[in-house]
Amino acid sequence: MNRVIVIAILLFFQSFTWAQEYEQIIAKENIVNDTFFNKYIIEDKFRWLEDINSTQTKEWIEYQNQMSKVYLTKASNTTNSYITIDNYAVTEFRYTKKMGNYYFHYAYYNAHATPALFFQSSLNGDGAVLVDPNFISLKDNITLNGYSVSKDSKLLAYRFSRNGSDWNEIKVISLQTGLHKEDHLTGIKFSNIEWMGDGFFYSTFSQDAQFGETKGQRVFYHTIGTDQQQDKLIFERKNNLSLLFSYLTSSDEQYFILNEKNVQTEIMNIFYIDYKSDNPSIKPLITNQKSDIDVLDSHDGKFIANTLHDSNNGSIVEIDPANPYKWRAIAPGFSEALLLKAIPFKDRIVAIYQSNQRPIITIYDYSGTILFTLTMPMGSSVKGFSGNSSDEEMLYYYTSFISPPVVYKFNIKTFKKQLTTQTKASFTIDDIEYKEVEYLSKDSVAVPMILVYEKGIKLDGKNPTVLKAYGGFDIVEPPTFDPGIVYFIKSGGIFAFANIRGGGDKGIKWAKAGKGKNKQKSFDDFIAAAEYLINNNYTSKDKLAATGASNGGLVVAAATIQRPDLFKAVVPVVAPLDMLRFEQFTAGHWWIDEYGTVKDSVSFTRLNNFSPYHNVKEEINYPSMLVVTSDNDDRVPPFHSFKFVARLQGRSAQKNPILLRIEKNSGHNGASTWTSSVREEADIYGFIMNELMKK
């Protein structure tokens, strides 16, 4: 074909495509019927989309991406979201983390590259590049996921992944020469790196195919300079998919401590190795415990741990290996404050609590005396605590939804804090305020919610509003700086974050009240939050959007399917959406305690009643929706989103746009470079604002 004709056809097609506001996409149906308990027949029209490598799935994905890119680019241009968010994202700060004798930080040096790891011998100066992930592979998108320094500060082991996968590899580099060792470990997943002597502990899993079940965790010890095949197996269990291990080495290198938790029964066992004993071998410390016990370090030959159970919101205790069931309380649990974190130092313990959506830093001595307390503003968080156990100073940073991190050096003896570097931003937050409210859920339980907006905003029911939540896995979702939120608020919007049940924001009882047999209460809490915002004239159903990621994406999608009348625009991100099949893939079997299982008839009924994919109604025109996923998400496989979108799009009643955005060469955490991260934020908030501006 003549080259000029080809160009003309392409230009015509491009202009025609750009002219389209939204085109409904009808996916083919290939029905598979599943029978449960010889009674329930469940129809799955789009099972074929689970084969993400088939030609027809790839063609469907490509068409979805083309159509959503056109729509989202137009929305971004209309709302000016990309340029504005890109500007707000430019903040100058450096979170430096101390390990051993050195200071480390991640930094972008190129907008199209993933962050590199820098290191330096003091807090002053810019540091030098230690590990540049952009040179590890020419074909894969490499992301650094963590690092650990040997006790003598000579070596650093770091984890990295390819294309956003949860599967990691480990390499080792000399901090004295900057040269890599030959060590290269693979098959790493959900693993930390714990040094001891001339090597470190790590864990591996096995998995059948890309999205098969992740199983068979094994903990190994690797000696530097040896092949991975020679690594010593430290701990494993045969044929139990419900067990997960976590572990650490004590700062004095005397102990290796391993936690074994059954994620379905919540029973915990703790084992340890005393490397100063005559015959170091793994021994049980505490067995068959219902409490959540997290050993933090050793102090004078005893273990320091925090505990969390139904009767308190977290306490700090001392455990003597010689008498492990008789604990000495150092810091008791508080009814109105949740213990988030505890960091033992030589003669101090730093504890971080949360009370009424405010973080509190408290310093104890080992007798349990409170030496210092600092309460932070509502809607903020303190993170990134670092420092060696023998240090008198630690580093941490303060942040919020609209405040970039501010990094402090804090002396745990004098209690004086010092700003390390001035954080610079391209915007001001003096005109933005926080408000804490409580609303009643369906069962009359009071749920806390934080609202963020510009001062003096008029509550006339016409304000664009974004409602967000997480609400799962006992997780406390701390406020984190998000330039997209700044953009939305400065565009006249209200940002609302609801601390719904299922999350850990008010302790373990709060979490249990929204999981398993109570999971519907998470959705009820979210729905009640939307009703509160509408009934109290913050917004209206035509100005309200909802978004959430991972479990939060499930909450958003389930609430929308159950109450489509409440929302104008909805953005579920990397969400599990087919709740009858989630446990068959990757880490899904570890989520049974949170969601339930189709292997139990009562649990199956609950799952079938709230699974977003299975509860789409033929006759309903659901709100405008942007479903966001990543093509290499091997935690929540992308076909959850594929099937949900196909189901929504394939109905004649659907008039509002249903879009699918697929981040390429990425995993559960989404975009990784500066440019791709800004683009993702701009697409999400540009879509939301564009839909809320419509009449």
pLDDT digits (tens, 9 = 90+) for 105-141: 999 988 889 999 999 999 988 899 999 999 999 999 9
Looking only at the bridges linking them, the beta strands covering 32-36 and 40-44 are: antiparallel
CATH of domain 94-235: 2.130.10.120
Question: What is the separation of C-alpha 324 from the centre of its chain, rounded to a whole number of angstroms?
Answer: 34
Residue 485, CA atoms < 13 Å, CB-side half-sphere:
24
CA dist 297 and 596 (Å) reads 34
Q: Are 97 and 693 in contact (CB under 8 A)?
A: no
Per-residue b/e over 450-488, b at no fewer than 16 CB within 10 Å? bbbbbeebeeebebbbbbbbbbbbbbbbbbebbbbbbbb
Tokens of 16: 């025609």
Q: List per-block mean pLDDT (blocks of 10 residues) for the chain, which spans 695 residues.
A: 34 39 86 97 98 97 96 97 97 92 93 94 91 95 97 98 98 98 98 97 94 96 98 93 96 97 94 96 96 94 91 92 96 92 97 94 98 96 96 97 96 96 93 97 98 96 98 96 98 98 94 97 98 98 98 98 98 98 97 97 98 98 98 98 97 97 97 95 98 92
DSSP β-bridge partners for residue 410:
394, 417
Please list, in sequence order, all residues whose beta carbon lies within 8 angstroms of the beta carbon of residue 69, skipping any fewer than 6 positions away.
none
Rounded CA gap, 493 and 50, in Å? 38
Nearest Cα to Cα of residue 384 among 251, 259, 478: 478
Q: Where are the domains positioned within the chain?
A: 20-87+427-693, 94-235, 242-333, 340-425
Where do we find the tokens 């469907």?
60
Do the beta carbons of residue 267 and residue 261 sit within 8 Å?
Answer: yes
pLDDT at 25: 87
**Could you tell me which residues come within 8 angstroms of residue 338 by beta carbon, excluding any fewer than 6 positions away?**
313, 314, 353, 354, 355, 476, 504, 505, 506, 507
Structure confidence at residue 7 (pLDDT): 30
Catalytic residues: 550, 668
- Taking the mean position of all CA atoms in its chain, how far away is CA 65? 24
Whole-model pTM over 0.75: yes
Q: What is the pLDDT of residue 21?
A: 66
The encoded tokens of residue 648 equal 């929504």
pLDDT value of position 695? 78
Please tell me the predicted confidence (pLDDT) of residue 399.
97
Question: What is the C-alpha to C-alpha distance for residues 322 and 68, in angstroms, rounded to an integer?
Answer: 62
How far apart (Å, rounded) are the C-alpha atoms in residues 385 and 14?
A: 51
Contact 350, 412 (CB under 8 A): yes
Residues in the chain: 695
Give the CATH fold of the 20-87+427-693 domain.
Rossmann fold (3.40.50)
> Token match 């409440």: residue?
566
| Contact between 571 and 625 (Cβ < 8 Å) | yes
C-alpha distance from residue 645 to each of 62, 569, 575, 582 (Å): 14, 15, 12, 16
